[in-house]
Structure 1
Amino acid sequence: MKILITGGKTATALKLIKAFSNAEILLGDYGDMPKISTSSYAFAALGPWNADVLAHNLLTKCLDNDVDMLLPLYEAEIMALSKSLVLFNEFGLKVLLPENPQPSQNKFKDYCIFNEGKLIYSSIEMQLNSHTNLNGFYSFVNDNKDLALISISNPS
């Protein structure tokens, strides 16, 4: 499985590498990108930032790079992609986002990732109560009782 994680030059994206240890990871970001490739990940250029065509640009990058799953981190990407989930599904691409995202830019230490309600990674031990509809990258808030969808600031 090949996964594209956006915000690839950020510490947030780098934290996610260990969550997908059995996958081929592309860390994508806008603007200049390092030409580094390791056994764990590679960087991918997403071109210049253009908020008007984010979903189209990411769909093209996913198809060009044979990506199976997309995990967007920038808030504008999250909002644009949430409106295009059907299109990505038609191309066989899984986007780790809920249908109606409410992204948060809170600082976090621990996090978890869900795929259609299934916990695929957690940085801490957690109880699965009523998380059946979650999809995406979440941080723990309120003493680990509530979850918030993570996003990062859009590139300038």
Structure 2
Amino acid sequence: MKILITSAASAQAYQLKNKLNNPDTILGDYAELPGTMLKTGNMLALPAPNDSSYAHKMLTLSLDNQIAKIYALQPAELSLLKEAGTLFNEYGITILSADEI
């Protein structure tokens, strides 16, 4: 079971990754990330939450990367993903906030 934590450019994402202590944890961000970080496979470029098809792009990305849980750290991301929660649940993907460890 892979876990995606958004806001990879933040200290909060790394703190959460350490708390979860799961080797299958991937960090992702819609902010520009260095190419070397993306090439390792432990970090993903995410769509921006202001994209009109954000939830669908996140679902596709999750399915392509076998992600079962998403910890959305930005309020805008969390809100949009929670709104589409039923769709994600149909595919066995759980949407969580950082407080839901």
- The interval holding the TM-score normalised by the smaller chain is 0.7 to 0.9
Structure 1 residue 91 displacement after superposition: 0.8
Paired position in structure 1 for 2:44: 44
Consecutive unaligned residues in structure 2, runs of 5 or more: none
Say what the alpha-carbon RMSD is for the aligned residues: 1.9
| Cα distance in structure 1, aligned partners of 2:95 and 2:16 | 15
8 Å contact kept, 1:28–1:43: yes
- The structure with the larger Rg is 1
More strand by share: 1
8 Å contact kept, 2:9–2:31: no
Paired position in structure 1 for 2:19: 19
Consecutive unaligned residues in structure 1, runs of 5 or more: 97-135, 139-148, 150-156
Structure 1 residue 83 displacement after superposition: 1.1
5 Å matches for 1:130-141?
136-138=97-99
| Cα distance in structure 2, aligned partners of 1:32 and 1:80 | 21
SS at match of 2:8: coil
More helix by share: 2
The one-letter code of the counterpart of 2:81 is L
Identity between Structure 1 and Structure 2 (%): 35
Higher relative contact order (CA 8 A, sep 6+): 2
Moved over 6 A (4+): none
